[in-house]
């Protein structure tokens, strides 16, 4: 990772931390503030990336302890630099794959909240199943999981709209889209996804139904759901159900709170 890319990545992550109006996170932050009281809680930010949301949670949630985990060493290195720069003490960042290296026994039933911001769409389904099985082990009985992601039918689900300038471009023929991305390819921060082609190929094409198929067998149920839709920009259409065809194509992000089912 060269110095120019490092500087850009630091600035991006820092904006995610400091700004409540960051374009792709402002809905998440408002939803979290409305539905979570993290004061004195132990929190896990899973797939924390470069740590912007982890540090925001630590600063705004007054949690007693927050752990940020990610499988990418470049991301963790930037997260630790931001932590040091802003002198936030109640955060621990760690590079770890919990499917191969689960958290130690002392973490069993210890986390009051687990956050997954824009990460589930990057993980293959069989691995997601293992991850939620691990969440079941480490979450407190009344703990909650926050999940946000752009569903595959979203206008921005391809993660490459910034270069194609075409919403819903994921529905183009695969060969045409990949050729387009390759021509406009950019290096990004990451050991596992180091450019836009790799980022696109790494998407699992997740939908709400597919996510539910993964989490329900692990004993989780929906406590809250917000399907954030472009319909909200049009007052005359705000009352429509965004989850019915064809309006579901206008959902820009799904936000969920999951809880353990009471048997």
How confident is the chain (263 residues) per 10-residue block, as mean pLDDT? Answer: 86 93 88 95 97 94 90 96 95 97 96 98 97 98 98 97 96 97 94 93 98 97 95 70 90 97 75
Plot region of 259 (φ>0 → left; ψ -120 to 50 → alpha; else → beta)? beta
Rounded-to-integer distance, Cα 31 and Cα 148, Å = 10
Neighbour tally for 51: CB within 10 Å: 28
* Residue with tokens 């965004």, as numbered in its chain: 242
Helix axes 52-61, 26-35, angle to 10 degrees: 30
Q: Please report, rounded to a whole number, the percentage of residues in the chain having pLDDT higher than 70.
A: 97
Rounded-to-integer distance, Cα 187 and Cα 51, Å = 20
Closest by alpha carbon to 20, among 32, 8, 35? 32
- Adjacent-strand bridge partners of 257: 146, 224
pTM recorded for the entire structure: 0.95
pLDDT of residue 60: 85
Pairing state between β 111-117 and 91-95: unpaired
Rounded-to-integer distance, Cα 42 and Cα 212, Å = 25
pLDDT of residue 61: 77
250, 231 contact by CB (below 8 A): yes
pLDDT of residue 236: 63
pLDDT of residue 263: 63
All structural domains of the chain, each given as residue ranges with its CATH number in brackets, are 3-156+205-260 (3.40.50.150), 161-197 (no CATH)
Please give the helix or strand (H or E) that residue 98 lies within, else none: none
């Amino acid at each position: 990772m060269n110095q120019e890319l490092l500087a850009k990545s630091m600035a991006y992550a820092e904006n995610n931390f400091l700004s409540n109006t960051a374009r792709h996170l402002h809905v998440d932050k408002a939803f979290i503030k409305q539905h979570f009281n993290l004061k004195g809680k132990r929190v896990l930010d899973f797939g924390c990336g470069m740590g912007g949301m982890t540090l925001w949670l630590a600063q705004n949630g007054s949690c007693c302890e927050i752990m940020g985990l990610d499988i990418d060493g470049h991301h963790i290195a930037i997260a630790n630099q931001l932590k040091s720069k802003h002198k936030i003490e109640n955060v621990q960042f760690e590079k770890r794959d919990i499917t191969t290296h689960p958290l130690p026994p002392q973490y069993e039933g210890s986390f009051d909240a687990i956050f997954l911001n824009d990460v589930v769409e990057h993980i293959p389904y069989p691995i997601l199943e293992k991850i939620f099985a691990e969440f079941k082990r480490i979450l407190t009985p009344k703990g909650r999981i926050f999940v946000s992601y752009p569903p595959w039918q979203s206008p921005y689900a391809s993660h490459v709209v910034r270069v194609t300038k075409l919403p819903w471009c994921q529905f183009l023929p695969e060969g045409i889209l990949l050729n387009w991305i390759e021509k406009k390819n950019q290096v990004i921060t990451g050991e596992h996804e180091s450019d836009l082609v790799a980022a696109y190929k790494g998407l699992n094409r997740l939908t709400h139904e597919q996510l539910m198929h993964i989490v329900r067998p692990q004993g989780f149920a929906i406590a809250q759901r917000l399907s954030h839709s472009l319909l909200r920009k049009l007052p005359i259409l705000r009352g429509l159900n965004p989850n019915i065809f064809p309006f579901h194509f206008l959902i820009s992000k799904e936000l969920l709170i999951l809880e353990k089912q009471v048997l």
